[in-house]
Amino acid sequence: MLRTIITAEKNNLILSIPDDFIGKQIEVIAFVLEDAQAQKITLNNTKTFSSIQLDTREFKFNRDEANER
């Protein structure tokens, strides 16, 4: 893999590739870095949870009552 960041001074570029790329399909993608950074999604890191507090200290589980229909 080859990654190169170039500052374009003209509207054409010459890209040198390694010898092992010769005869193989390669993909070239060009985009402006400022545009890519502006499109990043900023996530809101605040998380809110609402909970119900129950006092279960006196609770006795009754299996027969739970399975009753």
- In terms of residue numbers, what domain contains 25? 1-55
Residue 67 lies in a domain: no
* 52 pLDDT tier (thresholds 50, 70, 90): confident
Residue 64 lies in a domain: no
Residue 31 lies in a domain: yes
Q: Residue 41: is its pLDDT beyond 70?
A: no
pLDDT in tens, 3-17: 888 888 888 988 888
| Total number of domains in the chain | 1
* 47 pLDDT tier (thresholds 50, 70, 90): confident
The whole model's pTM is what? 0.41
Residue with tokens 């027969």: 64
Residue 49 is which amino acid? F
Nearest of 55, 62, 5, 51 to residue 30 by alpha carbon = 5
* pLDDT (mean) for 31-52: 68
Alpha carbons 16 and 60: distance in angstroms, whole number: 76
